[in-house]
Amino acid sequence: MEVPITVTVNGKQYSHSVEPRLLLVYYLRDVLRLTGTHVGCDTSQCGACTVLMNGKAVKSCTVLAVQADGAEITTIEGLAENGKLHPLQEGFKEMHGLQCGFCTPGMIMLAADLLQRNPKPSEAEIRKALEGNYCRCTGYQNIVKSIQYAAEKLG
């Protein structure tokens, strides 16, 4: 039995009938074809699937699509405006905050939540916020620099 849901994703409203057990990450990727949200572990350990739900960072592998009914979701595809990179996207590019790029969308979305709550985080606060998102390539130093870059641009 499918359940009807309506969600607003990156400013556009969508209505679909979904299986009650469908995870939000698979709704975004397979139904809406927004593949910037990555599936890394399916157990909420890595953070590659992080999106904003009603303005707060959530790991979309831990949220059922039916739980997102009525919610506003922002994915990595929704950060850039009019073809101009968001300062976080620009920061990851300019400060070399990515290598393979697999974790990058989740890191950026988590950082977007952090900077909404704390526009001028210290290095320690950034590192604390990143604890639930894993990167196997960079060693985090340039990820921290990328977020500091964006904080300065946004500030």
Same domain, 8 and 72: yes
| Tens-digit pLDDT profile for residues 77-112 | 999 999 999 999 999 999 999 989 899 999 999 999
Q: Residue 110 CA to chain centroid, in angstroms?
A: 6
Orientation of helix 141-154 relative to helix 87-94, angle to 10°: 140
Question: Structurally, how many domains does the chain consist of?
Answer: 2
The CATH number linked to 16 is 3.10.20.30
**pLDDT value for 17:** 98
**pLDDT value for 12:** 98
Same domain, 93 and 41: no
CA gap 51, 25 in Å, rounded: 9
Same domain, 20 and 68: yes
State the pTM of this model.
0.94
For residue 120, pLDDT over 90 is answered with yes
**Domain span holding position 51:** 3-78
The CATH number linked to 102 is 1.10.150.120
DSSP helix/strand/coil, 108? helix
